[in-house]
Amino acid sequence: MTVQGFVRAPAGAASDAAGPSAASRARDRERTLRVELTVDAPGSAVWDAWSTAAGVQAFLAPKATVERRIGGAYEVFLNPADKRSSTQGCKLLSYLPPEMISFEWRLPADEFPELAAAATWMVVQMHPAGIERTEVRITQLGWGAGPVWNRAYSHMQLFWQMAAARLWQRFERGPLDWGGLRQMWQDAQNLFSHQRTFGSCTIET
């Protein structure tokens, strides 16, 4: 799996007038975030994983609304109990079965309230990579400029790395058990609490 950040995003990305220099803002507007991976699954199965609510819920979030039509809802609820951790209100922008799907992506309002009204957008591309194998390219565009946008970029870089790992896991081991994942997250939070109390530790997998 690779993560890339580079230029050549479509024009019209959001900017922050309070950010740094004009040249720096221009670079940020062109910035994209890309994660690539190859999964052992046919393109039709990977397409369904991104273009149906059941598919999204099998690896990306425990709850989703996906209407496969231009302008239809594409909403992902990372924490169904807190709508701030969702992309509620986002729409499907375009699609080409079984090769590409594009949709809006709202940054988490609980983490970045200053960017609650800003919507970036995603382009997910699927290409054959052999018999029953598919290369998946996940790209996020529409970045603005300034310190808050920089933090959001770093946050989403980690998020899409984790999402790519879960997509791979979905086809290797089956749909995610979100109940078990919530317990794992709680265990990680507890570990972090102990780290702050007793010092640092390293976990290797």
128 assigned to some structural domain:
yes
Q: 187 in a domain, yes or no?
A: no
- Domain presence at residue 191: no
Q: Does 190 fall in a domain?
A: no
pLDDT per residue as tens digits for the range 84-116: 999 999 999 999 999 999 999 999 999 999 999
pLDDT digits (tens, 9 = 90+) for 165-199: 999 999 999 999 888 766 555 554 454 444 333 33
How crowded is residue 104: how many other Cβ atoms within 10 Å of its Cβ?
18
Q: Is residue 196, in this structure, part of any structural domain at all?
A: no
Residue 201 lies in a domain: no
* 192: number of Cβ within 10 Å: 10
Classify residue 197: in a domain, yes or no.
Answer: no
Q: Which CATH number do you get for residue 108? A: 3.30.530.20
Amino acid at 114: E
200 lies in some domain: no
Reply yes or no on whether the pLDDT at 45 is more than 80.
yes
Q: Domain of 106?
A: 2-177
pLDDT of residue 179: 82
What CA–CA distance (Å, rounded) separates 5 from 197? 36
pLDDT band for 63, please (50, 70, 90 cuts): very high
Where do the DSSP E strands lie in 62-99?
63-66, 74-77, 92-96
